[in-house]
Structure 1
Amino acid sequence: KSKNPPFMQWTDEKIAALAPNDSTERRGRTLASSAKWNTIATNYEAIWGECKGSGSQPYLVQIKLSGPKYKCSCPVRKPPCKHVLGLFFLFAKSSAVFKYQAPTEALKNWLDQQSTSTVSSASKTLAPVLKTEEAIEQAKLAKQKRWAQRVQLMTSGMDELELWLTDLIRQGIANTDIQKASFWNQVAAKMVDAKLPRISTYLKETHLLIQQNQNWSEVVVARLGALYLWAESFKKRNLLSAEMQEELYQSLGKIIKKADILAQHPSSKDLWFVLGKKEGVDIEGRSFRKIWLQGQKTKQQALILDYAFGSMGYEQQYIVGDLLDGALVYYSKAYPQRAIFESFESAKIYEKTTLNTYKDLNSMLTSYGKALVQNPWLFSFPVGLSNLKAFVNDKKELQIKDVKDRIIPLSNLKEAIIWKILAISGGHSVSLFGEWSGLHFEPLSMLTEDGILSFT
C-alpha cells in the first residue's frame, strides 16, 4: 500500500538529543536491532513495535513521528525510555524493515489524541469553580494582602542588602577572593527569609564565579553593581511604569503561573528555529534547561526556561536545528524574552532557516546596551556572531576574534567544546550562537554548511 513518507527526517543525532541522559541513550542503541523486536510496523505517521523484555509480556512502544510524541508500557518514569529510543534508532538506520500496517483501534485513538492535544498538560487548568461575587472579591483582597506582606519583607531585605553592599565597598574588594563561602551564604540566607530568592542565588553564584575566574575583580565589580542596581530600583520602584515594576518583581523571584501567562498575554505565531540549548544544575541543585528560539518571520527571539525536579524529566523535548510551527506567549511585555509555547508541532515544510548575526563585537554590544534600557535586570542575552576566527594563543587558550580583530571574552568552556570549535573551523571564519552575560560569551552552537551544530 503506497503512502507518503513522513515530512520529518529523523537522524541519529536528532534522536540522541531526545535521550534524558547518556546511559539511556547507550541502552537504547542496544535495542536498535530487529532481532530485539517481536513486531515492528508503520503507517508513515507513526511507528510502533513490541520489544522483548525480561518478563513474559513484551513492552508496547509507539511513536508519532511529528513532534515527536511517544508512549511505552514499561514502568520508566523519565521519558523517553530505552525502548522508545531503540525503536527510533532502528527506524533511522533501517526504515525499510518497518512494513506498512494499519494501526489498531487503540493506537489510532492515541494518535488522534496527540493531534488534538495542542496545549501541554502543564498549561491546562482545572475546570473553573463557580464562585459568588462576594467570594471572588474576598479572594482578590486576600491575594493583595499577601502581596503587601511580601513587599514589606522584601523592603526589609533590600535595606539590609544595601547596608551590606555599602560596608563591603567601604572596606574594598581586595580580599574578596579569599572570603569563604559562608561570607556570601550568610547574606544569601537572609535574602531567602526576605522573599528575595533570586538575590540569594545570585550571591552564591558570585562566590563560585570568583573561584573560577582569574580576573575575579572584574566579576566582583560587575555583580556588586548589579546587586546595587536591584536595591536602588526596588527603593524607587514607584517611579517605574507598571510593566517595569512587574519586570523588576519577576527578576527578584516572583513566580507567575504558566496558566496565568497563557490566559493574560497575547500569543506570537511563527516558525521557530531552535538555535541553542543549555542544560545544567544551578547553585541551588535544581536541574535546568534553556532553549533559545528565533522566529523566522518576526525575527523575535525567545527563551524557554524549564526546571526538572527529582527523577522527572522535561515534559517537552527540543532539538537544536529543528523548525517548530507554533504559537508562544512571552512572560514580559516590557522586554519580551522568556516565553512558553501555547502549542507547537514540527514544521511541515522545512523552509531555509536564517539566523540574525552581528558582524562584530561593537555592534553586538550596541544592541546589548539597547536591551538593557528596556530591561536593566537582563542577565542572559542571545547572540549570533559571524566572521569569527578561532585560534589558540601562547598560553594554549582558545581565543576568538571578530572581523576587526577584537578578542571576544569567553566563559569557561569544556575542553570538548574548545576542540570542536577548533576542529570544525579549521582556520576559516565561523558563525557562533550563544549567550552574552555582560562580561563573557558562552558558545552554544555553530552554524555550518550542513546546518547548525549544538555543543550540548
Structure 2
Amino acid sequence: MGGQVVTAVPWTAERVAGLAPDPASEKAGRALATPAKWSGAGVNEDAVWGFCQGSGKKPYQTCVELAEPAFRCSCPSRKFPCKHAVGLLLMWAAGQVAAEAPPEWVSTWLAERADRARKAEQRAEAAGPKDEEAAAKRAEGRAARVEGGVAELKVWLTDRVGAGFAGFDRNGAEELRTVAARMVDAQASGLAGGLRRAAGIVGRRDWPDALLAELSLLFLLADAAGRLSGLPPELAETVRTRLGFSVETARVLESGERVSDEWLITGAADEENDRLLTRRTWLRGRLTGRDALVLSFAPPGRPLDASLPPGHVLAAELAFYPGAAPLRALVAEKGIPLPAPSAEGGSIDGALAAYARAMAADPWLERWPVLLSEVTPAEHAGGWCLSEKDGTALPLVPYAFPWSLLALSAGGPLTVAAEWSQAGLRPLTCWHENRAVRL
C-alpha cells in the first residue's frame, strides 16, 4: 500500500537547514538524520512523521505538516522546529522515508489543524464587514493624538538641542525614555522607537554625533508629519508608516503594486524586540532586479514563517506596500522554492548607489539589502570587512564573526548577501561550490 500513497516533492537539505532556529539545532538534527534512530517513519502529500528514540524509554513522536510548515513533537524542547523535526526532514530530503498512509495520531493532528483554520474563517465571516463609521472615528481620534504628540516632540527637540548635551550622559537616556513613553501614549510608535534608539546611543563612544543624527531624523519625521496633506502621496504614505500607522493586508493585496518575477531569496535575519520575534526575509527579482522585504512575526516560543528558505529561488507575484521607496511586500501568489546553486551579485559601488537612491526617497530607511560578487573577507583597521580586488570595501558590523566566511573563502572570492546599515554589513548568505550557505 505504501507505494500507492501520493507524496510531496522532497525538500532539499539546504531548505531544511534554513528552517533550523540556530546552528546548534541544525547540527543536532543532522546527527539524528539516520534511519537507525527512527521507527514508524512515513510521508504522504501532507506530512512526514516518525518516532525518534531519545534518552527515555518512550520515543519522541514527531510530525511536520508540509504546507505551512507546522511542527509537532512530544520532546520538551521549546525551539520550533526542534532537532527531531529537523532530523526527520533531513532524512526525508535524503530519500530515506518511505511513502505510507498516515497513522491515526498524524491524521488526528492534521484534522485538528484543519478544523481550527475552518473555524477561524467562519468567525471572520460571522463578524461581517467592519463598522465603517466607528472605524473612521477611531482613526480620527488616533490622528488627533498623534498630531498632539508630534507637536510636543518638536518643541522638546528644539529646546533640548538648543540647550546642548553637556552632562547628558548622566541622565539623558532616562529623559529620552520618558519622552518615548509620552509618544507611546500619543500612539506614535515610530517616534517612540526612535527615541528609545537614541537612549541606547547615550554614553557610547562618540555618542554626541550619533545622538544628534538620530534626533535630526526624528525632527525631520515630526516636521513632515505636521504637513502630510502637502506631501506627494507616496512620501505621505512613507511618513505615516514611519510614524507607526499600519497598512491593512487586504489593502496591499487589493491595490498594492504587483510584481511577478523569479525571486532569489537572498537571506533572512531574525530579531527579538518587545517580546516579539521578527524575521526579515530579503528577495531580489532575477528579471526585474527589484529588491523586496517580507516580514513575519511570532511570539517567543512559536515558529516564524519558514516558507521562504534563503538560497532558493521562487516564482511568485509580490504585492508591495505603498511608499516613496517601496520595499516591504506580501507574497500574493507563489510556486515551490527551488535551490539556487549560484547567485549573480553586483559591485560595492553599485550597492551604495542603490542605497543612496533609496535614502533620498526614504531618509528613515534603517536597512538595505546588498548582493555582492567577487568579495573576500579581510581584516582592516582592527575590524573586518568585505573587500573587492581593487581594495574597495565595506565594514562588517562589530558583532559579525567572519570565521565562516574565511573558511569558505580560503582566500578566494565569494558571492555574499547581506544587510547594510549605519553599523555596517551583516552577512546572511553566501554561495560556495554551487550551494548556498546560511551564515
Q: Give the structure-2-normalised TM-score.
A: 0.81
Separation in 2, partners of 1:149, 1:44: 50
Structure 1 residues 12-39: Cα deviation after superposition (integer angstroms, max 9, x where no partner): x542331345675566556434344332
Match of 1:307 in 2: 297
Separation in 1, partners of 2:60, 2:102: 18
Residue range with higher mean Cα deviation, 19-28 or 193-202: 19-28
Q: Which residues of 2 match residues 9-408 of structure 1 at below 5 A?
A: 10-11=12-13, 14-21=15-22, 25=26, 28=29, 31-42=32-43, 47-51=48-52, 59=61, 61-62=63-64, 64=66, 69-70=69-70, 72=72, 74=74, 79-92=80-93, 95-96=95-96, 98-101=97-100, 126-127=124-125, 139-173=131-165, 175-211=167-203, 214-282=205-273, 284-347=274-337, 354-357=343-346, 359-361=347-349, 363-393=350-380, 396-402=382-388, 404-408=390-394
* Structure 1 residues not aligned, in runs of 5+: none
SS in 2 for 1:412: coil
Structure 1 residues 249-268: Cα deviation after superposition (integer angstroms, max 9, x where no partner): 11111123334432343543
Structure 1 residues 156-205: Cα deviation after superposition (integer angstroms, max 9, x where no partner): 21122222222232233465555453122111111111111122122212
* Structure 2 residues not aligned, in runs of 5+: none
Alpha-carbon shift at residue 125 of structure 1 (Å): 8.6
Sort the Cα spacing of 1:331 and 1:110 in 2 relative to 1 into closer, same or farther, 3 A. Answer: farther
Counterpart residue type for residue 271 of structure 2 = G
Separation in 1, partners of 2:406, 2:384: 8
Q: Give the structure-1-normalised TM-score.
A: 0.79
Separation in 2, partners of 1:301, 1:124: 36
Identity of aligned residues (%): 26
Alpha-carbon shift at residue 297 of structure 1 (Å): 2.5
Counterpart residue type for residue 341 of structure 1 = V
SS in 1 for 2:288: coil
Residue range with higher mean Cα deviation, 160-169 or 433-442: 433-442
Could you tell me which of 403, 428, 435 is aligned with 1:444? 428
**Is 2:399 aligned against 1:413?**
yes
Sort the Cα spacing of 1:102 and 1:181 in 2 relative to 1 into closer, same or farther, 3 A. Answer: same
Sort the Cα spacing of 1:347 and 1:124 in 2 relative to 1 into closer, same or farther, 3 A. Answer: farther
Alpha-carbon shift at residue 123 of structure 1 (Å): 10
Sort the Cα spacing of 1:99 and 1:21 in 2 relative to 1 into closer, same or farther, 3 A. Answer: same
Please report the RMSD computed on the Cα atoms of aligned residues, expressed in angstroms: 4.0
Separation in 2, partners of 1:37, 1:74: 14
Separation in 1, partners of 2:23, 2:395: 31
Sort the Cα spacing of 1:128 and 1:46 in 2 relative to 1 into closer, same or farther, 3 A. Answer: closer
Separation in 2, partners of 1:122, 1:435: 36
Counterpart residue type for residue 59 of structure 1 = Q
Alpha-carbon shift at residue 293 of structure 1 (Å): 0.8
Alpha-carbon shift at residue 240 of structure 1 (Å): 1.0
SS in 2 for 1:433: strand
Counterpart residue type for residue 434 of structure 1 = A
CA contact (8 A) 1:120 1:342 kept: no
Equivalent pairs, count = 433
Sort the Cα spacing of 1:209 and 1:344 in 2 relative to 1 into closer, same or farther, 3 A. Answer: farther
Residue range with higher mean Cα deviation, 51-60 or 15-24: 51-60
